[in-house]
Chains A and B, each alone.
Chain A
Amino acid sequence: MGKIKTIKDYLSESSFFEGMKDDHLELLSGCGGIQHFKPGDFLIKEGEEANSFYLILRGEIAVESYAPASGPIMLSRSGPGEVTGYSWLFPPHRNQFDSRALTKVDAIHLDGKCLRGKADNDYELGYHLMKRFAQLVLQRMHNTHRQMLNVYGTEQQVDTSGQ
């Protein structure tokens, strides 16, 4: 019979925190716990004070922005092993979008203020955290820029039938 997993266990198994030192993971795990969501529940609500980082263990979430008449516009989708919630990293510490559970979701929640506090006290921890977030955000930004190119919008069929 396996032992009950701790927060630290979950963090160490995730690809996001891969390579982080044991004592750093210990520090991080002190910032949170497991939370459970029903389909439709909000993990993060646009406009509110940003204080939450989530590592998804089970289920899927969507990052959305709601427009009246069109309904929620899905900006991205994340599943097990992926993360959501970075607005706690820097001022103004305000959630910019909604993060909503599409299915039942189990996630590790880490408190933003706690994480910032620990990073301020331990620069090595801070550096390793920032490195991982910077890489994720860079990747997301490049992908978003590619989306903005609207490559399909100007697609035309090539017709060389002689016009």
Chain B
Amino acid sequence: MSDVFLPHCLDRKELSTLFDALKSEGYLTVGPVKRDGALLYDEIECVDDLPIGWTDEQEAGSYRLKRRNDDALFGYNVGPHSWKTFLFPAKTKLWSASKPNKQNSGNFIFKEGNEVPPKYAFIGVRACELHAIQVQDKVFMGGTYQDPVYSGRRQDSFIVAVNCAQAASTCFCSSMETGPKVGSGFDLSLTEILNETDHYFVLEAGSERGVAILNTLPTRPAEQNDCDAAALRTENARKDMGRSIDISDISELLTRNYDNARWAELERKCLSCGNCTMACPTCFCSKVEDVTDLTGEHAERWRSWDSCFTLDFSHIHGGSVRSTIGSRYRHWLMHKLSTWMDQFGSSGCVGCGRCITWCPVGIDLTEEVRAIRDSEKGNTHDG
């Protein structure tokens, strides 16, 4: 077996060579940046654009940035953005149409869009996020008809994954078995090693594309102590894990609890704001808008993110099927943890904790599952 798939080490000072290599292959490098009081994903040019020396503190309904006492490049977890921002853009034009014989005519022709999808290199993809991308791959590319917007961006995307060295209090990837160590499906993975004497990365190639890039970098083969240091980082993240969820029989549990009183109780908390669906890296629901210009001769169809928490989402002649907030939360949770499995063969949740952090009233789905499970123990039915 070729030794290029074995771990290598790259000094922190040489990390810019990774950016150079990717750029010379025509990739648009995207990664974490510090902006608006959070760590977001945006285009980055160089190593210095990364949020060096910053970390995040997360709790249900709370997100704060804090200065670290070191200069770690990846010393934080996930922010409100996920990579779906690039693969499944929030607003995209699907096609346009025009009336060549002016607006009063009943005839029109269609025009396809000519978008050349950008070639992204995602820098800093966490284990949970890698799973989320694979979950969305099944949604957008696994059916009879593929979504060209997603597949166009996905097929050329290069993934530089990062193994977490810490976990936020809202993280629960361990119980979802999606982390903290990156699995498969990446091109390169990095584990940041930072101590008093050294600052370097343990790199692993996960694909031929990753090998090709790795070969151009000034690396040295990793030794046992490097691998041990990397393993220790992952172990640290696992120990740090802030939350857990019991998904052992989650599908059956939720399916028999459609009428649980907990859903109606959530009415008093949930604002139906949809933050969870915007932040969630696997949520894929969308709406379509057909618009015309002022002349009435040109029409366009646009697709944009939507949320199952809106009333409009389930509207059929006369009203919405899910008119109560409780029913909408129930739909979201049951889809995420249960019916997703029937539809796509895996859970829709990757344990990233974003929905917990970004909920303005701090609703925690691990807590909701626990409450439903507990309600079945010692349940006395009054009537």
- Are A and B in direct contact (Cβ within 8 Å)? yes
Q: Report A's interface with B, CB cutoff 8 A.
A: 35-38, 40-41, 43, 68-71, 109
Q: Does B6 belong to the interface (CB within 8 Å)?
A: no
Chain B residues within an 8 Å CB radius of A71: 319, 323
Contact A70 B264 (CB under 8 A): no
Chain A residues within an 8 Å CB radius of B316: 68-69
Contact A69 B321 (CB under 8 A): yes
Q: Does B382 belong to the interface (CB within 8 Å)?
A: yes
Contact B320 A43 (CB under 8 A): no
Q: How far is the CB of B99 from chain A (nearest CB, A)?
A: 34
Give the contacts of B5-42 with A (CB-CB under 8 A): none
A41 closest partner in B (C-beta): B383
Q: How far is the CB of A48 from chain B (nearest CB, A)?
A: 12
Chain B residues within an 8 Å CB radius of A41: 382-383
B382 closest partner in A (C-beta): A36
B322 closest partner in A (C-beta): A68
Contact A40 B264 (CB under 8 A): yes
Other-chain contact of B383, A43, A69, A70 (Cβ < 8 Å): A43
Give the contacts of B302-347 with A (CB-CB under 8 A): 315-321, 323
Q: How far is the CB of A38 from chain B (nearest CB, A)?
A: 8
Query: 1/0 contact trace for B265-287 toward A, CB 8 Å?
Result: 00000000000000000000000
Once the chains are docked, how many angstroms separate the CA of A69 from the CA of B320?
Answer: 4
Contact A36 B320 (CB under 8 A): no
Query: 1/0 contact trace for B219-234 toward A, CB 8 Å?
Result: 0000000000000000
Once the chains are docked, how many angstroms separate the CA of A69 from the CA of B264?
Answer: 18
Contact A109 B323 (CB under 8 A): no
- A/B interface sample: 25 pairs, CB < 8 A: A35-B382, A35-B383, A36-B382, A36-B383, A37-B382, A37-B383, A38-B382, A40-B264, A41-B382, A41-B383, A43-B383, A68-B316, A68-B321, A69-B315, A69-B316, A69-B317, A69-B318, A69-B319, A69-B320, A69-B321, A70-B318, A70-B319, A71-B319, A71-B323, A109-B383
Q: How far is the CB of B264 from chain A (nearest CB, A)?
A: 7
Once the chains are docked, how many angstroms separate the CA of A116 from the CA of B366?
Answer: 47
* Most chain A beta-carbon contacts within 10 A, residue among B315, B316, B319, B383: B383
Q: How far is the CB of B165 from chain A (nearest CB, A)?
A: 48
A54 closest partner in B (C-beta): B383
List 10 tightest A-B contacts by C-beta distance, closest first.
A69-B319, A35-B383, A68-B321, A69-B318, A69-B316, A37-B383, A36-B382, A70-B319, A71-B323, A70-B318
Once the chains are docked, how many angstroms separate the CA of A136 from the CA of B65?
Answer: 69
Q: How far is the CB of B261 from chain A (nearest CB, A)?
A: 8
A36 closest partner in B (C-beta): B382
A37-B383, A40-B264 known, 19 other contacts, Cβ within 8 Å: A35-B382, A35-B383, A36-B383, A37-B382, A41-B382, A41-B383, A43-B383, A68-B316, A68-B321, A69-B316, A69-B318, A69-B319, A69-B320, A69-B321, A70-B318, A70-B319, A71-B319, A71-B323, A109-B383
Chain B residues within an 8 Å CB radius of A70: 318-319
Chain B residues within an 8 Å CB radius of A68: 316, 321
A106 closest partner in B (C-beta): B383
Give the contacts of B156-212 with A (CB-CB under 8 A): none
Once the chains are docked, how many angstroms separate the CA of A36 from the CA of B383?
Answer: 6
Once the chains are docked, how many angstroms separate the CA of A70 from the CA of B382?
Answer: 29
Q: How far is the CB of A39 from chain B (nearest CB, A)?
A: 10
